[in-house]
Amino acid sequence: MKFPGIAGLLLCILSCAVAQAQTPAKIQVRGVIRDAETNEPLVGVSIQEGTPPKPVGVTNENGAFSVMVPANGTLLFRYIGFSDYKVKINSKREINVRLSVNENKLNETVIIGYQRKTRETSTGSTVKISGKDLQDIPVSNVEQLLQGRVPGLNIQNNTGTPGGRGMIQIRGLSNIDVKGNGNDAFLSPTSPLYVIDGVPIEADANFEYGYQSVGPGVSPLSLIPQEDIESMEILKDAQATALYGSRAAYGVILITTRRGSSAVPRVRYTGNFFVNTPPKLRETIGGVEERRLRINQIYNSKNLDDIYRISATPFLADSLNPYYNNSTNWQDIFYRTTYNQSHNANISGGDPKFNYKVDLGYYHENGVIRNTGFDRYSINTNMLYQPTPKLRVLTTLSTQVGKRNKGDGNGLIQNGVSSNANASSLLPGPSFYQSTSSVLSALGTENDNKTANVRTSVDINYQFVPGLNAATFVSYDYSSNTEDRFTPAAARNDFSQVYAYNDRKFTLSNRNMLSYFLSLKEKHNFYIALFNEIQNRGFQGQLIQQEKTPNDQYRGPLGFDGWASRGGGLLDNYSKGHIASFAGTFSYNYKQKYVLDASYRLDGSSGSGFEDPYSKNPSVGVRWNFNKENIFTESSWLTYGSIRGSWGQNIVPQGDIFAIYGTYDPRGTYNANPRLGINFGQLPNTYLKPTTTTQYNFGMELGLFNSRVEVLFDAYYKTVLNLLRNKSVSNMTGFDFITTNETSLINYGYELMLTFRPLPRTAAVNWTISVNGAINKDILTSLPDGARQLVQFDGNTSQHILYRVGRNSLTNYLFNTIGVYSSDKDVPVDPATGLPYRNGGGTSYFRAGDPIWQDVDGDYILTNNDYIAAGNSQPLVTGGLQSSLNWKSFSFNMSASYTAIRDVLNNALAQRMQYLGNPYDPKAIVDFNTVNYWKGQGSSAAYPNPFDYVRYSQIRPYRYDQTLIQEDGSYFKINTISLAYLLDRTFTQRYGLNSVRVYLSSNNVATFSSYSGPNPENVSALGRDQSGGYPIPRSYNVGLNVEF
Amino acid sequence: MQRKILTVIIFVLAAAACRKWAPDDLDYLSPRAVYNQKVFSPVMGRTTLYSQIFNTDNSSTPIQFKITNVRYKTTGEPATDLGKPVQTLVWKQAYTGEEKSLAEIDAKRVVETHPAWEIRPNSGEFILWAAADNSILREQPDSGYLFDVEASNSGGKNVYTDLALMPYREQPYAPYEYDAVTGLQRANYPNPSDSSVFKLIYNNPGVQNVTDDETNLGLRSDSVRVLFNRKGDGNSLTFKFMDKDSLPIDPARFNRTAWDTLVHGFNRVTTKTEVRYDVAYPIPLIRYRTKYTNGDGSQAYVKFIWDRVGFGNIRETCSIDFSFSIYRKGDWEIIFFFQHNPRFRDE
């Protein structure tokens, strides 16, 4: 027997057959049926018996029942929205059952391609997250709660900045474009397309310029209150996303907000009061200890000039001067614990003919770095109007304002704060009488940054005859971002600065669809739809920067002249785009057993070259629900089972008009005639194509033992073609570079999600535990001009990025640190010249205490030829774990996530060890006792000698471009824990409250990792742990739900 | 039937899991990786390393290098000379200049067998070992050898053709007053059109503050010749001084000379006529700045100093100094031959 399941199955069948042979004796069975979660009695539950099941009764208004059935029979309880529940009577007289909400993944309704389907008939790979899982933890951006819940959805909450967002990828890398360098190197985000109630949202908006982003930098997702979310659906493969094709190449996440459904108007209030605490800060060496350490270090150099230099360095020598006689805790000046709140009122009501919802939200969070924070005000409404079964009109209107305070940072990173927090403890902290300008800048810069967003849509559906529908959908999304910043004169070298930025962005989209559904004898089901889609987008930003206001109270209006203005005007980030698409989709299923989906799209985009603006995107998917085969219908162990496969293609237009048409610049006048000249920077590419992903997906879904074990498995192979990359061109063309589509990569991987319900359904405790994991490997498959390799050199930290065809797309290109020279004799010697291994072409020979960098080319000189392809900055394995436990009125939920096999560059460690390499520089000395550094001839250590400041600049033992600081960034994190208690309804109803629920929760509870830095998740998308990053706070929350 | 269906499912799963459909991860070898230098003319008798001459153009390292197709340039016939093994001293530990005995220096190097003209397997650098002499390689004016270099890694193979090796004859010491190609003593020809009038070139030391004993004028540098003389095959270096009558000058006259740190030698023997040290060859041992060398460590540096009372009762410090190298092991003499006598006496 290969499978124990089959043995069990055979035994089951056998025992059933034996049972049926006996003559049944009828007995009376009584009991009460309740909702497992709320413990409310369920009215009208159908009770069935026998094979095939025949109804024998229903529950009364108290949920109680009493039926006459054979003593050895099986009872089946069936109720809409709940899972079927089967129980063997075995002569029991009383059976109390707690039905749980239908958690059978197969019967979930999913929305794929603007069409509601049961999962049973969908061929794509999707995961649905209920809005319930996204409550109880107040967050500014609901996206972060998805972490670890969906296999293949890699979310790294790598910044704690309020209102910001982390990194999100569906099924691996989709872009390898890195802007900026050093710690600011920024991987272009490839966020999935978000569709909120049918309105597509650009989640990457405001982050396209890397860390140098302008404006308030509020993610559109931060504007959605989590309380308003009914469900989120993550569409992963090409078939599922096919009909969102024009921008769906990175995957699609659908957000459905709440609707009114109750005849009695309901008012739900949710209030959260939470405390954010900064993570454990670095232990620094303060005061006299710091001075002694520095002076000892200088004395140990035995260099008389250096020792004399102490006298010329006041902060070392002048220990009696109150200015230098301090032990300032700089971190404490910038980091704080904050008290925050959020309130949300959701008013809804109506019946199927007319229903409405209004959601009012307020969210207030102060950042753990002073002078930062995020406030959100939102009103989201929708209304459904269905006067006849033929006509249905749904309108939504959402308005949100996000206010974000960035201090003097730029939202994602706070370099000003980090460089100040790294100041020597000997320097005096800010006081009433004096302060340094950088402290004033971080704390005194005034921000008034707003994002205002209006999103509205109308969805009209008309049914001509049964089966034939016409629908039109119009949406308009408008947002305006403004940033007003005033830096006082004292904080900016006596010249105040006024900075005013504003931009406008709009998206207008329209979709018209004609669909027909036909079912022949309930066996052959056909669905065919044709639609077109038009989208129009635009963006323009402006900027004013002025300096030297007369005083800090006068902040404008300021005249324009060359003396005070620091440039601005219209920014060059203007963009305007159009998309026109025509699509058809066809679905067929036979008894919902064999399913076939096919679709075809033509997407024309102004982001594609005008020579070939339309891209053709077909997709096809099949599914086989094998549990419906006759052989399995009687199966007791197989609840459902299906395999599916799909193939399809999606695009994301990436080009802009400058890349396609080139640029003309105004060049002043000649002979009083205005001149226009060609901008010779970028050579236009009229054949530019959108980034295209082609994806194969294979999936399997299994429900075993009455859905007590559910398995969801997917394997995929995704090709990302036509990635845009600038390519330098020969100077004889007259141009500098051209944007081409020659880069491509693949992702392949496996995703597994297991759900267990270990306790029987009758148990008082209802426990669901879900584990998921995904392995994703990306491989670069082509580079411009057929090159095999491209190195993106980094002039700042020298942490170069290697792109080499055939290996992971983003490879760290570093010196390989093997260890530390324990003694001088360990340094290899060139047999020909007799010289020790040295750094560069000079005379900086390595000695004991220096790191051993592998001499790859064997020339006894450390050069660029010794770089190796060292690591992958992208994680290989991601996943999570959720547990949900209900007992009577208590519920306990936990969510965890993990990331494994990822290389993180601990730049923060390197930086603070570098500070030890210059005792004259007033920088913080972080406690280095945890670092196993070299302590003298013959001692073995993992880290080199940081104190040899004389040779420091020649050797740079703590340089960034080495594997010494590359560490494994694997971690396991307990994201959230919540404990809720539902007050007794009979008690609360006495006071007119339908239900009252209180809960305690915590976010970012704990991270377990072998990583030596503070948090392996708080690193950039390229895996660099920059000290300027915004720390991720831990929050403790007390919350309240009241329903009137 | 159930099992059949399960088998089909398992099979499809396995099939989905297996295939990679991706290009192989190969090294990169740039077609534009080049040798910066293609003609090599080292001087024989000393170890010469051509360092950092291969520009990898960011190819993946390590690259494997191999010398192939060695041939005589004149005839094009294949030659095996470059690969001939030679016994040569190689360094095992770094020379620091702080060694206290000859044994300590010798412990840092061992004799190994190497091809006369060796290519470093991963860096493409060339080494001519000191033990390769004109018994092994043809020296200029012969046109020497041509050879090809094959560079390869898993990303492919580049062949660099027609690199040339044209070694010069051995020059046992430097500065060397004989011509690198002909071996004749070099000369200056004041009149380029008349080769019968010439003045031979000799090595001269630096002369500081030395008075010509006859004329009371400053002694010119070309009044002192430095002569190198190899007396035997031992391991010593002797300094001698001769006046214009070829009579020895007592080294003690150079009374301010730091004899102990003059050269990195041991067992100093001072007589009335000479100062002798036991030394390790070559001198300097490596190109590394020590207290025995000049500023960049390329040559040994000696300075002989004396003082005397000059006119006006002022003490004058007089010196002659000289930078030199000796590549060939032996019992060498360096003779400072004064054409005009220096003044040692007080005024």
pLDDT digits (tens, 9 = 90+) for B183-221: 888 888 888 888 888 888 888 999 988 888 888 888 888
Q: Considering only A505-519, A834-848, B233-247, which range has the smallest mean pLDDT?
A: A834-848
Q: Which position has the higher pLDDT, B241 or A301?
A: B241
Burial class (CB in 10 A: 0-12, 13-18, 19+), B239: buried
Neighbours of A480 (CB within 10 A): 16
The position carrying tokens 């993990």 is A898
Q: What is the mean pLDDT of residues A375-379?
A: 93
Same domain, B280 and B310: yes
Would you place residue A275 in the very low, low, confident or very high pLDDT band (cuts 50, 70, 90)? very high
Q: Are B290 and B230 in a shared domain?
A: yes
Contacts of A632 in chain B (CB under 8 A): 2
- Does residue A812 surpass a pLDDT of 70? yes
pLDDT at position A279: 86
Q: Is the pLDDT of residue A240 over 90?
A: no
Q: What is the pLDDT, as a whole number, of residue A833?
A: 87
Kindly indicate the confidence band of residue A201, based on its pLDDT and cuts at 50, 70 and 90: confident
Q: Which of B170, B205, B232 is the last residue of a domain?
A: B170
Percent pLDDT > 70 in chain A is 91
* Whether pLDDT at A211 is above 60: no
* Mean pLDDT within A282-288: 82
Coil, strand or helix at A226: helix
Report B:113-172 residues touching A (Cβ under 8 A). Answer: 120-123, 125, 127, 129, 155
A529, A117 contact by CB (below 8 A): no
Residue B214 pLDDT: 86
Q: Does B17 touch chain A (CB under 8 A)?
A: yes
Residue found under tokens 């709140």: A341
In a domain, B21, yes or no: no
> Chain A partners of B95 at a C-beta cutoff of 8 Å?
834
What distance in Å separates residue A902's CA from the closest CA in chain B? 19
| B232 domain residue, yes or no | yes
Token pair in block for residue A569: 């005007």
CATH topology of domain A4-102: Immunoglobulin-like (2.60.40)
Q: Tokens for B211?
A: 């008075």
Choosing among B7, B50, B51, B283, which should be mutated to test the A contact, i.e. which has the most A CBs within 10 A? B51
**Out of B5, B28, B61, closest to residue A788 by CB:** B28
Q: Mean per-residue pLDDT for A523-543? A: 88
Domain boundary among B116, B144, B170: B170
Out of A506-510, A947-951, A1002-1006, B235-239, pick the least confident: A947-951
Average pLDDT over residues A387-398: 89
The answer on pLDDT for A1001 being more than 90 is: yes
Residues in chain B closer than 8 A to A869 (CB atoms): 60
* Radius of gyration of chain B, Cα coordinates, nearest whole angstrom: 30
The answer to whether position B1 is within a domain reads: no
Query: Which of A639, A503, A874, A832 has its CA nearest to residue B51?
Result: A832
Q: Smallest Cα–Cα separation from A718: which of A751, A741, A742, A740?
A: A751
Spatial separation of the C-alpha atoms in residues B133 and B139, rounded to whole Å? 9
Are residues B329 and B209 located together in one domain of the fold?
Answer: yes
Give the domain extent around B94. Answer: 34-170
Asked if A1041 and A891 touch (Cβ cutoff 8 Å), the reply is no
Residues B152 and B192 in one domain: no
Give residue A666's pLDDT band: very low, low, confident or very high (50, 70, 90).
Answer: confident
For residue B2, name the pLDDT band (cuts at 50, 70, 90): low
Q: Say whether residue A836 is in contact with chain B using an 8 A CB cutoff.
A: yes
Which pLDDT does position A8 carry in this prediction? 43
The total number of structural domains in chain B stands at: 2
Tell me the residue type at A709.
V
**C-beta atoms of A827 and B109 within 8 A:** no
Cα separation of B286 and A408, whole Å?
56
Does residue B1 belong to the interface with chain A, where contact is any CB pair within 8 Å?
Answer: yes
Same domain for B156 and B273, yes or no, is no
Establish if B201 belongs to a structural domain: yes
More confident residue, A15 or A783: A783
Question: pLDDT digits over A59-72, tens only?
Answer: 877 778 888 888 77
Shared domain check, B206 and B148? no
What residue in A sits closest to B93 (Cα-Cα)?
A829
**Average pLDDT across chain A, whole number:** 84
User: What distance in Å separates residue B90's CA from the closest CA in chain A?
Assistant: 5
Helix then strand then coil, % of chain A, to nearest 5 = 15, 50, 35
Which residue is it, tokens 């759900």?
Answer: A755
The pLDDT of residue A474 is above 50:
yes
A455: its two tokens: 């999103």
Query: Residues 208..247 of B with a Cβ closer than 8 Å to A: which?
Result: none
pLDDT surpassing 60 at residue A739: yes
Q: pLDDT for B227-248, tens place per residue?
A: 998 888 888 999 999 988 889 9
* Averaged pLDDT of chain B: 87
Q: What's residue B20's pLDDT?
A: 58
Residue A858: which of B19, B92, B123 has the nearest Cβ?
B123
Closest CA to A575 of A606, A610, A533, A613: A606
Q: Is residue B177 part of a domain?
A: no
In a domain, B82, yes or no: yes
Q: What are phi and psi of A19, to 5 degrees?
A: -60, -40
Tokens describing residue A620:
């096809």
**Shared domain check, B162 and B296:** no
3-state SS class at A276: strand
Chain B contact for A845 (CB, 8 A cutoff)? yes
Q: Which tens digit of pLDDT belongs to each residue from A4-46? A: 444 444 444 444 444 444 455 778 888 888 776 666 677 777 7
Residues A632, B2: C-beta atoms closer than 8 Å: yes
Q: Specify which residues A967 forms β-bridges with.
A: A904
Of A112-116, A159-163, A614-618, which range is least confident? Answer: A112-116
- Domain locations along chain A: 4-102, 127-277+336-788+978-1009+1016-1020+1024-1043, 288-325, 800-873+903-970
| CATH label, A127-277+336-788+978-1009+1016-1020+1024-1043, candidates 3.40.50.2000, 2.40.170.20, 3.30.300.280, 3.30.70.360 | 2.40.170.20
| Shared domain check, B151 and B288 | no
Please name the residue of chain B whose CA is at the shortest distance from the CA of residue A855.
Answer: B62
**What would the pLDDT profile of B94-146 be if each residue is shown by its tens digit?**
888 888 888 898 899 899 999 988 899 888 899 999 888 888 888 888 888 99
User: With 90 as the cut, is the pLDDT of residue A87 above it?
Assistant: no
Token pair of A256 as six digits: 């459905």
First to last CA, chain A: 58
The verdict on a CB contact (< 8 Å) between A843 and B58 is no
Integer CA distances (angstroms), A1020 to A165, A419, A666, A709, A923, in order? 12, 18, 39, 37, 24
Per DSSP (E only), the strands in A297-353 are 338-351
Q: Are residues B108 and B246 in the same domain?
A: no
Cβ–Cβ contact B13 with A under 8 A: yes
Residues B200 and B330 in one domain: yes
DSSP B262: S
Tell me what pLDDT residue A416 has. Answer: 63
d(CA A603, CA A583): 8
Q: pLDDT band at residue A412, thresholds of 50, 70 and 90?
A: low
Whether residues B9 and A858 touch (CB distance < 8 A) is answered with no
Q: Note whether residue B4 is domain-resident.
A: no
> Is the pLDDT reported for residue A526 higher than 70?
yes
Question: Please, what's the b/e burial string for A437-458 (b: 16 or more CB within 10 A of its CB; e: otherwise)?
Answer: bbbbbbbbbebebbbbbebbbb
Residue where a domain terminates, one of B136, B170, B204: B170
Do B42 and B150 lie in one domain? The reply is: yes
Q: Chain A within 8 Å of B55 (Cβ-Cβ)?
A: no
Q: How many helices (H) and strands (E) does chain A have?
A: 13, 57
| Same-domain status, B151 and B254 | no
Q: State the Cα–Cα distance between residues A21 and A72, nearest whole angstrom.
A: 11
Cα(A909)–Cα(A965) distance, integer angstroms = 7
Instruction: Considering only CA atoms, give the Rg of chain A.
Output: 32
Q: Is B144 left (phi over 0), alpha (psi -120 to 50) or beta?
A: left
The CA distance from B271 to B250, in Å, is 8
Question: What local confidence, expressed as pLDDT, does residue A413 receive?
Answer: 64
* Six token digits for residue A426: 């000997």
**Does residue B2 belong to any structural domain of this protein?**
no
The CATH number given to whatever domain includes residue B159 is: 2.60.40
DSSP string, B127-189: EE-TT--TTTSPPTTS--EEEEEEEEETTEEEEEEEEEE-PBPP--EES--B-TTT-PBPEE-
Q: What is the pLDDT of residue B17?
A: 55
